[in-house]
Amino acid sequence: MLILGLESSCDETAAALVAGDGCVVAHRLAGQEAAHAPYGGVVPEIAARAHADALEPLIRAALADAGVTLRDIDAVAATAGPGLIGGVMVGLVTGKALAHAAGKPLLAVNHLEGHALSPRLAYRMEGRDLPFPYLLLLVSGGHCQLLVVDGVGRYRRLATTIDDAAGEAFDKTAKLLGLGFPGGPAVERAAAEGDARAVPLPRPLVGSGEPHFSFAGLKSAVARAAGHYPPADLAASFQRAVIDCLVDRTRLALDRAGPVGALVVAGGVAANAGVRAALEELAAARGLAFAAPPGWLCTDNAAMIAWAGAERLAAGLTDPLDVPARPRWPLDPAAEPVRGAGVKA
């Protein structure tokens, strides 16, 4: 079984071919950093146009890398949301056209499901299985959630952020410290040179009875401290505060998750070595397996979309060609919005 995956929900255009056994046969990606850098963040209209320009050549390149044609694939998986709607529509319409032309099933994949199932692909790449259920910490530029993954399409949200996402906090801190965009990797590099105890910063919601997240206050504290401390010390102290929040909230969620076999972290912030190490320690203390995809599979990519498509196809969950693109699309439709956090659902 061979799945073509397409991703275009934010500022990464990507196409990949993934086999049902977890072999990533080809993956191509084009970032848009240079196009958005002058604005200090992603501009939706620029992103949509860049996706429209980049996607077809990437698909051709991925097919050529694999030495196959559209006739050889078994299904087309495209991100159908959540994300910037212009970009999502570019990828989804392209996926629909290819599926229709090739007479193959379409899989309209929730981008968050791509992240959520990516650790299973990472395990499969190593010849291992990551069984359900597991607790997932999903930390990206747009999302910060704790979910129990009971199976394909079966997600129970235990917590979300009441303001910023963790990756957003990294991006805003990088901007404040003049470290550039995207911020996560820049903050991590600067933090490696700094003292994490140098700047006293808050740990919002740590110790609170619900495992939700909040990062807006931390960002404001960094803004107040900026200029009074070396940037490297600020970066290190900020990163330490985020890690403390993530670990504390995840610990509480583990208490409430019911039986799970593993602690899993996914999304762009999971590429951070300090975040991974702290969560691995928590998993070990609880006697749980730990899974985090390799860096290239943590940040946005099409291999995770193709893999989620493969898992959905195996479960018989294909989609009609009139399936809509969705700017918002919670993984757990039953989850209640929390105070001020509707937009993060």
Q: Does a cis peptide bond (omega within 30 degrees of 0) precede residue 133?
A: yes
Closest distance of CB 258 from Zn ion, Å: 26
Residue numbers 85-144 binding ligand KG4 by CB under 6 A: 140-142
Q: Which does 182 bind (CB under 5 to 8 A by kind): ligand KG4, Zn ion, none?
A: ligand KG4
Structure tokens belonging to residue 40 = 């200090």
Binding of ligand KG4 at residue 185 (CB under 6 A)? yes
Binding of ligand KG4 at residue 237 (CB under 6 A)? no
Residue 157 is inside which H or E element, if any? Answer: strand 154-159
Q: Which is nearer to ligand KG4, 237 or 272 (CB)?
A: 272
Q: Given candidates 7, 113, 188, 233, which one binds ligand KG4 under the rule CB under 6 A?
A: 188
**Site track 276-315 with ligand KG4 (rule: CB under 6 A), x = hit:** -----------------------xx---------------
Residue 29 identity: L
Closest distance of CB 300 from Zn ion, Å: 4
Closest distance of CB 91 from ligand KG4, Å: 14
Residue 269, burial from CB neighbour count under 10 angstroms (0-12, 13-18, 19+): buried
- Angstrom distances, CA of residue 276 to CA of 19, 147, 205, 241, 279: 27, 17, 21, 14, 5
Report the candidate in 112, 102, 53 with the shortest Cα–Cα distance to residue 80: 112
Residue that has been written with the tokens 């990533």 in this structure? 24
CA distance 87 to 330: 18
Binding of Zn ion at residue 300 (CB under 5 A)? yes
What DSSP letter does each residue of 319-342 carry, written as one string?
A: B-TTPPP-S---SSTTPPPPTT-G
DSSP-assigned beta bridge partners for residue 16: 5, 27
Q: Which does 188 bind (CB under 5 to 8 A by kind): Zn ion, ligand KG4, none?
A: ligand KG4
Q: Which does 231 bind (CB under 5 to 8 A by kind): Zn ion, ligand KG4, none?
A: none
Binding of ligand KG4 at residue 82 (CB under 6 A)? no
Candidates 93-101, 184-192, 299-307, 319-327 — which segment interacts with Zn ion by CB under 5 A? 299-307
Q: Where along the sequence are the contacts to ligand KG4 (CB under 6 A)?
A: 10, 140-142, 167-168, 170-171, 182-185, 188, 267-269, 271-272, 299-300
